[in-house]
């Protein structure tokens, strides 16, 4: 037996699965999820729901996979015992239905659901019927749902401009059946009491217990795929046996570190 085979057989890392879109630029989707899983001590598997045409700034289009193609990717993987799963881009009603059915009918753990509705450049990534199916079929199976504020507004119809409204929206999404909801406030702006720099506020409602996470923003940097990284990092934490609150806190720190590194690289390149 060669060294590679011995290493594979001895791999005791938690197994993590992402079910999401493929971003050829590498910034988001299954590539970003897989990098995050590996960085946080998990092995990574990926099922592709859509192949997008995009770069780090814009989505130009997407070629969606059929429900049958998604199922055929997942079924052989079920021979592995997964410790955690996250879902990202689920573009059509048929794909959402198939993914939900697989969670109901197999031993896959309850997923972290990142409800990817629109790209940051404004390209719609989920059909209207798919969104309705996600609400009705997948959210009740989720361990955690991680919408940003525009996604939370779209899911609930609640306008969100402050922390109190984030709490209200999180409670409303829990009312749709999700065990827990993390509303990401990165799209909102507020002032930190410390030296007047901006802070990002995220609200976690875990079965009615609310935890607020505050983190200083990194100025003058936009990093493609942070939502994917955050949900993958939370899933990785859960897969490693952490509590949900600790998983969210560790995931936020991980993403903040990535943004900080990108900011440092930008400063160095600008000389």
- Residues 42-67 have pLDDT tens digits of 999 999 999 999 887 888 888 999 99
Q: Read off the pLDDT band of 7 (50, 70, 90).
A: low
Check pLDDT > 80 for residue 196. Answer: no
Beta bridge partners of 180: 206
Task: Tell me how many degrees the CA angle 148-153-156 measures, rounded to the nearest 5.
Answer: 120
DSSP sequence for 163-216: HHHHHHHHHHHHTTT-SEEEEE-TTS--B-TTTT-BEEEEEEEETTEEEEEEEE
- Residues 165-174 have pLDDT tens digits of 999 999 999 9
Cβ burial of 245 (10 Å; 0-12, 13-18, 19+) is middle
Q: Read off the pLDDT band of 263 (50, 70, 90).
A: low
Distance, in Å, from the CA atom of 225 to the CA atom of 229, rounded to the nearest integer, reads: 6
Domain ranges of the chain: 13-269
Residue 179: closest CA among 133, 234, 111: 111
Q: What is the pLDDT of residue 194?
A: 35
Count CB-CB contacts under 10 A for residue 127.
18
**DSSP 8-state secondary structure symbol assigned to residue 18:** E
Q: Read off the pLDDT band of 38 (50, 70, 90).
A: very high
111, 143 Cβ separation under 8 angstroms? yes
Check pLDDT > 50 for residue 154. Answer: yes
- Topology at the third CATH level for domain 13-269: 3.40.1190
Q: What is the pLDDT of residue 195?
A: 36
Check pLDDT > 60 for residue 89. Answer: yes
- Residues 103-151 have pLDDT tens digits of 999 999 999 999 999 877 677 889 899 999 999 999 999 999 999 999 9
User: What pTM does this model have?
Assistant: 0.90
């Amino acid at each position: 037996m060669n060294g590679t085979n011995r290493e594979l057989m001895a791999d005791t890392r938690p197994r993590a699965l992402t079910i999401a879109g493929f971003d050829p630029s590498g910034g988001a989707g299954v590539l970003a999820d897989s990098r995050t899983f590996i960085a946080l001590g998990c092995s990574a598997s990926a099922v592709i729901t859509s192949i997008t045409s995009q770069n780090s700034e814009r989505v130009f289009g997407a070629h969606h996979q059929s429900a049958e193609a998604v199922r055929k990717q997942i079924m052989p993987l079920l021979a592995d015992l997964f410790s955690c799963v996250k879902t990202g881009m689920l573009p059509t009603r048929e794909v959402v239905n198939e993914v939900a059915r697989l969670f109901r009918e197999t031993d896959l753990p309850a997923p972290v659901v990142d409800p990817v509705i629109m790209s940051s450049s404004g390209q719609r990534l989920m059909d209207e019927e798919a969104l309705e199916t996600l609400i009705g079929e997948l959210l009740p199976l989720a361990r955690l749902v991680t919408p940003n504020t525009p996604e939370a507004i779209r899911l609930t119809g609640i306008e969100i401009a402050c922390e109190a409204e984030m709490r209200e929206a999180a409670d409303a999404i829990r009312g749709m059946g999700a065990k827990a909801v993390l509303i990401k406030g990165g799209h909102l702006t507020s002032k930190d009491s410390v030296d007047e720099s901006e802070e990002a506020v995220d609200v976690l409602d875990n079965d009615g217990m609310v935890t607020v996470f505050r983190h200083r923003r990194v100025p003058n940097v936009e990093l493609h795929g942070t939502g994917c990284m955050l949900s993958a990092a939370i899933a990785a934490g859960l897969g490693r046996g952490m509590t949900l609150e600790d998983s969210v806190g560790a995931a936020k720190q991980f993403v903040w570190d990535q943004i900080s590194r990108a900011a440092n690289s930008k400063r160095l390149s600008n000389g």
